Amino acid sequence: MTSLSVSAPGATIHAVDEGSGPPIVLLHAGIADLRAWDAMVPHLVAAGYRVIRYDQRGYGQTVTEDVEFSNRADVIAVMDACGVGQAVLVGNSRGGMITFDTAIEFPDRIVAAIGVGAGIGGFDGGATSEELELFEEGEALEETDPIDPDAVADFDVRFWVDGPGQPDDRVPSAIREAVREMDRAHNLPGIVDGRPIVLDPPAVDRLGELTCPALAVAGVLDASESVATARHLEATAPNATALIWDDVAHMIGMEQPKRLANAIVEFLAPLHRWS
């Protein structure tokens, strides 16, 4: 495993590179950092892939100034720093949205795009009345000044790790505490996120341009918009597939790392090798 610092406009991005073979870049969720992939990476490496992951701006060991920046360009900067011409992107949640955006903006660089509990920029997958109440609760916590990192982390673990309305012992406590630690760190005083430049027009209006093989993995125990988003991608993008699992929520790579890795390997098996 090699750690490296990647220079990007106004930022130094912390990345980790391990394994050998066709490269896969992993993008974490907005409540985590690159450590969220710890349990899944060994399975991908054992399957013969080079796995690169990094902390997005404002997360983990990456530092940024308060500048405008493109998350898509950051993906390409990491790839360039690692000497990677083409890669498969795998993104969880917000990382999934960045995955699809990047595949649209840089089609020559992205071999396949895999979203895990992913969003699509500009797409509203809907929510139940119970979920809307919970969203309002979470937004209120994030708008508190000063923000309470512990309260936000507690909410995010209940909603995103357990799943809306699910018991707090559904997943192992080690997973809950790992996400709590990563999420709390992101919301500490003084953390700078930068100002992301969104894809314009948004991905929802450009799914016809997402021509590479695309996979959306979603859990029924997640917020209902996750499954709706996966189904929309499958119905709209030219070469997309939805994979719906009934026993997982949002953090699928932590809940079921081997199962997710196997699904990724199976999805990529028909593709020509890339580097």
β-pairing, 11-18 vs 63-64, is antiparallel
**Of 64, 71, 68, the residue nearest 89 (C-alpha):** 71
β-pairing, 11-18 vs 2-8, is antiparallel
Q: What is the pLDDT of residue 142?
A: 85
In a 13 Å sphere around the CA of 154, the CA atoms on its Cβ side amount to 7
Q: What is the pLDDT of residue 228?
A: 96
Other beta carbons within 10 angstroms of residue 177's beta carbon come to 13
Instruction: For the chain, give every domain's residue range.
Output: 2-125+191-268, 129-186
Low-confidence residues of the chain: pLDDT under 50: none
**What pTM value is reported for the model?**
0.96
* Residue 44 Ramachandran class (φ > 0 left, ψ -120 to 50 alpha, else beta): alpha
**Of 47, 37, 39, 69, the residue nearest 194 (C-alpha):** 69
Q: What is the pLDDT of residue 223?
A: 96
Q: Which residues pair with 87 in a beta bridge?
A: 110
Return d(Cα 268, Cα 265) in angstroms, integer.
5
* 2-125+191-268: CATH superfamily: Alpha/Beta hydrolase fold, catalytic domain (3.40.50.1820)
Task: Please state the φ and ψ torsions of residue 79, each to the nearest 5 degrees.
Answer: -60, -45
